[in-house]
Chain A
Amino acid sequence: MFTKTLCVSAIALATAAAAPAFARDQIKIVGSSTVFPFSTTVAERFGKSTEFKTPVVESTGSGGGLKLFCAGVGEDTPDITNASRRIKASEVQMCADNGVTDIVEAKIGYDGIVLANSKESGQLSISLGDLFMALAKDVPGEAGETTPNPYTMWNEINPDLPAVKIEVLGPPPTSGTRDAFVELAMEGGCKAVDWVKDLKKTDKNAYKALCHTIREDGAYVEAGENDNLIVQKLQANPAAFGIFGYSFLEQNSDAVQGSMINGVAPEFELIAEGDYPVSRSLYFYVKKAHVGEVAGIEQFLAEFTSEDAWGEEGYLADKGLIPMTEAEREQGAKAITGLMNLSM
């Protein structure tokens, strides 16, 4: 306790000595680990091609990033936050409560989430409904009842699927990829059952509990946030499947293959056109109050929204970002560089 007080007083002294020198001339970006590779690529190019300092990009996760972003206006708060989902109304409210009223929303492109396995096994083709049956904690029956998931083999769900044990490696609940997978794939498959669709109108909580809960009996293995690790585990275990972002599939196309979902393969064009069912939009949000206060934000936005960056043949596409359509990009670039306010 004595040391603690000593620490506190010493820290106070150190701060008092160091306080005045914090005028910031460097853009600060926080947020999603999914957008991190794209944001850092733009930041690096921006730092090299302009007079401004290279922005600092932190990987905090979408929710963590928005929390920091909404903490207020001022030098100590970030200028931009990345998100692998749209900002929630509650977060807009949190921002407003702390004085962050004017926010610019920038949608930058799409990210596909793939179900993949080793190239040593055959390619899987599965419907969202079957995928839900394989991974849900409780499965809905014909007559409106639910039973704990009885399936241990893929072919028990649908005889067309291989006679292999269900073993899926995926991200833990803290991950944005998991959130997106649950919302897009699990819920998409869950809704395919008629009575569950009706349940959404009558009892939203029960609906969510049924559709959003992944089984915990060992068939779904939480493999950590590191997608490289999942790819390596798939190579070692050809019977297992993994869930991760499209860019990792692209980089490891010699070792793993993406499964067809609802008959659509996770390919660049198919995700870009919106045919592939499990894809999400990626965003970043800009604090308007900081534009003009921190040097370079406008130029950074111009760089990010240039065709060289987010275009179909831009350098972000090389990094695995799936670009928006030309019309969307044109409109987006106008709205973003014109600093249009977010409208929910």
Chain B
Amino acid sequence: MTDLITPSAQLKSRKLAEKRFQWYGRGAIFASLAFLVVMVGSILYKGSGAFTTTDVAIVVDLGPEAVDPANPQDARFEKIVKDALKARFPDANKRAERRKLYGLVSNDAGFALERFVLANPDAIGTQAKVWFRASDDLDILLKGTVDRTVDESERRLSDQEIGWIDTLVADGDVKRGFNWSFFTNGDSREPELAGILSALTGSALTLLVCFLFSFPVAIMAAIYLEEFAPKNRFSDIIEVNINNLAAVPSIVFGLLGLSMLLNTFGMPRSSPLVGGLVLSLMTLPTIIIAARASLRAVPPSIREAALGMGASPVQATFHHVAPLALPGIMTGTIVGMAQALGETAPLLMIGMVAFIVDVPQSILEPATALPVQIFLWADAPERAFLEKTSAAIIVLLLFLITMNLLAIVLRRRFEKRF
């Protein structure tokens, strides 16, 4: 006889199994969250240094011998900076020592002084205290990335250099500040000058082209296939092909872009136009599949009601079905665009893996993209590029989050419940 009050052994084990399953689920969520936290945490930790810079103040002699008031642009600014450094630390006598001394400031210092003088003509003829961007070696020493306790032979900076730096710090001639130039400069071979703007602009232009091309084409293809195309063997073949296309490795699209867009049509190499078109070939199937799925999810009653009220099939589709499917279509589009944002392989084939200093002004100018910039910096020998790499990843993630937020906002706006 079974007892209804005290649970049987079988029921107990079933309940236990259910509990266990829930714990597995929680464990899985915890594990993936932990990975995410570790990954984002380590990137933030490594990249945080890139958002501050170090500047060094040096008194430069802009007297009439150094700068001609009539033609200030002809002065030898690099020499003025070097003379100023020599005057600051006269103990650098040997050639090698002097080279190290000049290395305290970024090798951009001559150009920086030129910009300063041209912007402040009043300073000509005086002894001016000018702030220069410090070199990457000095910067990472102060950030503590380099261990200064190890033997002199094992460091990049000699005891003498560290002595100079400590003197500068003690005299208050070193300041740390937010690295605005990281957001306003293009790429550079000097870590202290390198910025993300050219890559960010390149990514934005590429995605714009990708969106403008793939969104309308994909929507039209999806609506036609879902609402109008006759269901026969031919449309089945198209469907299978679209699904297959979504699984093609992206490098293949890069090769297609190389042979067709560049070689056959002669479009400009390294340009966001070509990059965007290649990426849109990659995102098209993703968007088509998502759009078709969300069109299919619109209840048939909507369609039937519209047709019943005398709407033509085109009116029923565009006035009633498509607006309801729009949130789903947009989610699919954003997923596709996010994929495109992170892609480097196809860009390699069409020349976007390149050193680009100038910020691209149009979709025809050479450009690079954020993931490519990360790849290039990760490969650079200078130690200070390590933090730049992580900082670029942070920017890429922020870009992605912004895109996703936009998608959510748009979806909220257009979502209709019924």
Contact = CB atoms under 8 A, between A and B. Distances in A.
A226 interface: yes
Interface stretch (A19-27, A186-194, A207-215): A19-27
A57 B241 contact: no
A47 B221 contact: no
A58 B351 contact: yes
Interface stretch (B150-158, B299-307, B309-317): B150-158
- How large, as a class, is the contact surface on chain A? 35 or more
Given A247-B381, A251-B383, 9 more contacts: A1-B237, A3-B245, A3-B288, A53-B358, A58-B355, A59-B353, A253-B154, A318-B107, A320-B381
A58 B147 contact: no
Contact of B213 (A10, A28, A56): A10
21 contacts: A3-B245, A3-B288, A6-B221, A10-B213, A14-B277, A18-B273, A22-B266, A22-B364, A36-B355, A40-B189, A44-B357, A54-B358, A227-B379, A228-B379, A245-B381, A250-B156, A253-B154, A253-B155, A254-B150, A254-B154, A254-B156
Given A18-B267, A56-B270, A319 B189 contact: yes
Interface string A301-336: 000000000000101001110000000000000000
Contacts of B150: 254
Interface of A: 1-4, 6-8, 10-12, 14-15, 18-19, 21-22, 26, 28, 30, 33, 36-37, 39-41, 43-44, 47-49, 53-54, 56-60, 76, 119, 225-228, 245, 247-248, 250-254, 313, 315, 318-320
Interface string B369-400: 00000001011111100100000000000000
Contact of A47 (B155, B269, B358, B380): B358
Given A1-B241, A251-B382, A37 B281 contact: no
A266 B355 CA distance: 29
B175 to A, nearest CB: 24
B356 interface: yes
Report, as a range, how many residues of chain B touch the other chain. Answer: 35 or more
B154 A6 contact: no
Interface string B248-266: 0000000000001110011
B238 interface: yes
A315 B107 contact: yes
A56 B268 contact: no
A57 B355 CA distance: 5
Given A26-B366, A226-B378, A315-B107, A58 B358 contact: no
Contacts of A228: 378-381, 386
B364 A18 contact: yes
Contact of B269 (A59, A76, A247, A313): A76
A224 to B, nearest CB: 10
Interface in B341-362: 351, 353-358
Given A40-B355, A59-B376, A253-B154, A12 B217 contact: no
Given A40-B189, A59-B353, A6 B237 contact: no
